[in-house]
Chains A and B, each alone.
Chain A
Amino acid sequence: MLKSLRSRILIFLAVLGPGFITANVDNDAGGIYTYSQAGAKWGYLPLWTLIPITIALILVQEMCSRMGAVTGKGLSDLIREEFGLRVTFVVMTLLVLVNLTNVMANFAGIASSLELFHISRYISVPLGAVGIWLLIVKGNYKSAEKIFLFACVIYVAYIISGILVKPNWTEAAIYSFKPVLMLDRDYIEMLIGLVGTTIAPWMQFYLQAAVVEKGITAKEYAQSRVEVIFGCIVTDVVAFFIIVACAGAIWSNGPKDIESAAQAAVGLKPFGQYAYLLFSAGLLNASVFAACILPLSTAYSVCEGLGFESGVDKRFGEAPIFYWLYTLLIVIGAVVVLMPSFPLVKMILFSQVINGVLLPIVLIFMIMLANNQRLMQEWTNSRFYNFAAWVTVVVMIGLSLALAGISVRSF
């Protein structure tokens, strides 16, 4: 009995990584801003969305990791094999565009979080870019994954800063389970933003590729599923504390619009140096983390889908397109943040529009692939699962299209 428990824990540690990392990177600079804004403006009211968000995230992520474990192939591989080159090319082009703006947003996050510590962006951004580039090009994926897992642990900073703010826990508990709907345009836009940023296309590509890279097999899948679910829950626990921290620190002194996650950190200052420092450190960590993973995941997905050599274990000359794409994403993402005249906010709105187009395509492909008997054998979706997955996908598509619509209007 004891032995089987031990071996179970060992297997769990062996599969730990992909699901946990993916879900945590979801709380990147953009995500933290969305949660901070929700808490600062609406207090505890938006908390009820977290449970449905977690369930949706688990449903979608689970399909990807299952496909990776059963087929041993990445999502872009499967899309290419089942839907052909043209479709893959369109999906990859959109993916590169969306991810590029995400990289920009995260370099902006690095810049603004370090500016809180009085470090100029003209120092922090170039150093960050070079560091991120070297980590992957000169290191290997195994060691990088360990660093990534460590980065996941730093998210605890948000939990601590949430506690330091001493929010109203009774209200937080009540509104976690009590749905509040108001026919207020700003409130509805906030809800859409909250849900719409949760499931991003890149996550599905990254997660499935990481599961394959890790060599997780259909046999270990039970443990891998636990890992995915665990990762999704931890992620939304972090989101909960970000919202609660901003509700307790900012909203309780009067609802307020904030313009960046860094501004939210400043709002925490009256509650002590630590709450403020931890919130800023969390933002820095999240931004660096996402700026690492996004370019890497993009380069992998594109090269796999289009059949170019890929992999950090190959030399530059062996996989030129992979390395060029990876390098360019970092360089453009970093340079743009240093150009004062660059319309970053417009770019992010634009990326939400492309996201609204890309996400439905990817989610529908995923359900089709997960139901493909030839690929998935006995591991296809069950009927109930399919029902739940379709409901999730339809809701997600509706919300991301709505978000795209809002973004078009704000241009």
Chain B
Amino acid sequence: MMAESVLFFTELLGLPVLDIRGRRIGRVRDAAIVPLVHPARVDRFLVGGGWAWLTVRYDQVASISLEGIRLSDELLTPYHSDEYMLRIGRDLLDQQIIDVNGRKVVRVNDVTFEIRSATGNGNGHHGPNGNGRNCLYVLEVDVGIRSIVRRLLQGALPLLVIRKLQRAIPPNSIRWEFCNIVEPDPQRRLRLNISHEKLEKIHPADLADIVEELGPAEREAIFETIDSEVAAEALTEVDPKMQASILESLEPEKAADIVEEMAPDEAADVLKGLEESTSEEILEEMEVAPESEVRELLEFKEDTAGGMMNTEFISLHESATVADAMAALKGNEDQLESLNAVFLVDGDGRLTVTVPLARLFIAAGATPLRQLATETLISATVTEKQEEVTELFDKYNLLALPVVDEDGRLAGAITADDIISVLRNK
């Protein structure tokens, strides 16, 4: 990129502003984007003369360079706070934003603009020098040492000397498209056209790490606005203590939407961490089916098989064939990602055998499932202690363990990922 076409925000601050006749009317104090109009173009320059600040619209500017900003219009309005402006100096500089591409929280040291010449495509705005007018576009947000050095030296050395000095330090910048600003105030979010949609594309585990680094208000803002399904997945990965404080900060309806999307065992774990009145409020807002499932799980103690198990599993009658199992899998596609086995039950719902999922693929469609079952049936009762369950997984190298109630009826299943969480939290 041509060096002359780039301008840093620290350089822009303090640049002299010259009127049509070349008289200096003040210096740049801040610059603002109006995201509803354009996501990256600097729409206003705020200029400080004597007592008050003036506002310069982007189409009142003729040229922008390191020497200063030349105007093409005389009619400047006094500055007054405008809710639709994202002021770079006030709202962006020194604040934390999310680097969507690098999946982390960063602090803004400086902002890089590109100086572009408008080609005058007749969009209605035309000052005296309409054609060839210079505009500033936000190109990147700068983090890292180079931008720190630049900011510390600003004003102490001439601009060009600083540019030369910083060349020795490798740049560290994030393209503006990949920057996500987090704004806790919902009204301001609308006015600044801030959405958290970009965050939904981040892996939930990474998103969980990101929200853990933010303050409580920002955390709440993210969970309030992103898709409930993504929120549920991310919330599952967040530190348990923080899960509770996030759900407590949300409106019960939104919290219920998120909890509904979680696996019932995880939903139950999260709700157990809340105060009873709050978890009751959330349960009341939930749909009937997931609510009763979660309520059943809440009955069990956390450190028993009942408390660990998931009630989403696939069970078939003991006379079923491979083809029946395939049909059942097709009907439960949302479970496939973490499924390791299907279970067979008798007419009363009592567990008879476990069939490892992989065996289905090498058997013909008409094969009875019983023939594919594991030789010994290993299961746990709902009251079995956590340590004993963990031991079973270790001893028999299990991926999934069926859990039965006192009468031997299949109640749920524990999978290896539940065990890993238990072991890690020890």
* Residues of A that sit less than 8 Å from B by CB: 14, 71-73, 77, 80-81, 84-86, 89, 215, 217-219, 306-307, 309
Interface of B (DSSP majority class): mixed
Contacts of A307 in B (CB 8 A): 106-109, 143, 148
Binds A, one of B32-40, B238-246, B390-398, B415-423: B238-246
Please tell me which one of the listed residues B96, B104, B143, B239 contacts residue A215 in the complex, with CB atoms under 8 A apart.
Answer: B239
Closest-CB distance, B65 to chain A (whole angstroms): 25
Q: Which residues of B contact A85 (CB under 8 A)?
A: 94, 109, 148, 151-152
Question: Nearest-CB distance from B274 to chain A (Å)?
Answer: 12
Asked if B152 and A86 make an inter-chain contact with CB atoms under 8 angstroms apart, the answer reads yes
Tell me the complex Cα distance, A89–B152, Å: 8
State whether A215 touches B151 (Cβ < 8 A): no
Distance (Å) between the CB of A296 and the closest chain B CB?
18
Q: Are B107 and A80 in contact (CB under 8 A)?
A: yes
A377 to chain B, nearest CB (A): 9
Judged by DSSP, the binding face of A is helix
Q: What are the nearest 9 A-B pairs in CB distance?
A: A307-B107, A72-B215, A72-B216, A217-B245, A215-B241, A85-B151, A73-B215, A80-B94, A81-B94
Quote the shortest CB–CB distance from A91 to chain B (angstroms).
Answer: 13
In this complex, the member of B109, B143, B151, B215 whose beta carbon has the largest number of chain A beta carbons within 10 angstroms is: B215
With A71-B215, A73-B215, A86-B151 as given contacts, are A219 and B107 in contact (CB-CB < 8 Å)? no
Q: Chain A residues near B106: list those with CB within 8 A.
A: 307
B335 partner residues in chain A, CB cutoff 8 A: none
Nearest CB in chain A: distance from B283 CB, A: 20
Question: Across the two chains, which residue of chain B brings its CB closest to A218?
Answer: B216
Interchain CB contact (< 8 A) of B245 among A14, A86, A219: A219
Is B214 an interface residue, CB under 8 A from the partner?
Answer: yes
The answer to the question of B193 belonging to the interface, with a C-beta cut-off of 8 Å to chain A, is no
Instruction: Considering the complex, give the chain B residue whose CB is closest to the CB of A14.
Output: B241
Please give me the residue from chain A that is nearest to B245 by CB atom.
A217
* Binary CB contact string for chain B from 259 to 272 against chain A (1 if under 8 A, 0 otherwise): 00000000000000
**Chain B: number of interface residues, binned into ranges:** 20 to 34
Instruction: Report the minimum CB–CB distance from B93 to chain A (whole Å).
Output: 8
Q: Does chain A have a CB within 8 A of B131?
A: no
B152–A306 CB distance below 8 A: no
Chain A residues with CB under 8 Å of B93's CB are 84
Q: Report which residue of A89, A215, A218 has the largest number of chain B beta carbons within 10 angstroms of its beta carbon.
A: A215
Q: A-facing mask of B89-107, CB < 8 A → 1, else 0?
A: 0000111100000001011
B99 CB to closest chain A CB (Å) equals 11
Q: Can you list, as one digit per residue, whether each of B191-214 has a CB less than 8 Å from chain A (1) or not (0)?
A: 000000000000000000000001
30 example contacts (A-B, Cβ-Cβ < 8 A) are as follows: A14-B241, A71-B215, A71-B216, A72-B214, A72-B215, A72-B216, A72-B217, A72-B219, A77-B96, A80-B94, A80-B107, A81-B95, A84-B93, A84-B94, A85-B94, A85-B109, A85-B148, A85-B152, A86-B151, A215-B239, A215-B241, A217-B216, A218-B216, A219-B245, A219-B248, A306-B107, A306-B148, A307-B106, A307-B107, A307-B108
A104 CA to B239 CA, complexed, in Å: 37
What 0/1 readout, one digit per residue, does chain B (220-231) give for beta carbons within 8 Å of chain A?
000000000000
Alpha-carbon gap, A219 to B219, bound state (A): 16
- Bound state CA distance, A306 and B96, in angstroms? 11
User: Complex formed: what's the CA distance from A307 to B141 in Å?
Assistant: 13
User: Considering the chains assembled together, what is the distance between the CA atoms of A219 and B275 in angstroms?
Assistant: 12
Report B-chain residues with C-beta under 8 Å of the C-beta of A215.
Answer: 239, 241-242, 245
The interface residues of chain B lying within 8 Å CB-to-CB of A309 are 104
In the complex, residue of chain A having the shortest beta-carbon distance to the beta carbon of B244: A217
Residues of B within 8 A of A77 (CB): 96
A87-B239 Cα distance, complex, nearest whole Å: 34
Residues of B within 8 A of A71 (CB): 215-216
Q: Give the shortest distance, in Å, between B206 (CB) and chain A (any CB).
A: 13
User: How far apart sit A81 and B245, CA to CA, in the bound complex (Å)?
Assistant: 24
In angstroms, Cα B219 to Cα A215, docked, is: 12
- In the bound assembly, the distance between CA atoms of A399 and B360 in angstroms comes to 79
In B129-174, the 8 Å CB interface with A consists of 143, 148, 151-152
Shortest C-beta distance, B88 to chain A (Å), equals 13
